[in-house]
């Protein structure tokens, strides 16, 4: 079983990497970009029987800094 965790900075948290990407896109001639938020995707190969609740616990304890980041879990 696979799980995919999407981690993003919460709204209102400054995203310097996103700002740098937005600036670089403008420098390359891509003027239609109004904003960029950068995050990360974590793919987990899980043993059969693993639950979304367990993946949520992983996120809360290690995979995401829940003070400044939010996360979404996809299970395949």
Domains of the chain: 2-75 (3.30.1280.10)
Q: Find all residues with CB under 8 Å of 37, minimum gap 6, and list them.
A: 8, 9, 15, 18
The tokens for 55 are 């993946």
Mean per-residue pLDDT over the chain, rounded: 97
d(CA 13, CA 4): 23
Pick the closest to residue 64 from 41, 35, 38, 37 (CA basis): 41
Phi, psi for 40 (deg, rounded to 5): -145, 155
**pLDDT digit string, tens, across residues 4-34:** 999 999 999 999 999 999 999 999 999 999 9
Over range 49-74, report the average pLDDT. 97
């Amino acid at each position: 079983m696979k799980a995919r965790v999407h981690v993003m900075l919460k709204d209102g948290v400054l995203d310097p990497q996103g700002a740098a990407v937005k600036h670089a896109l403008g420098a390359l001639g891509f003027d239609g970009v109004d904003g960029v938020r950068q995050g990360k995707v974590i793919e987990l190969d899980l043993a059969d029987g693993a639950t979304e609740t367990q993946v949520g616990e992983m996120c809360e304890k290690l995979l995401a800094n829940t003070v400044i980041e939010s996360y979404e879990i996809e299970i395949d």
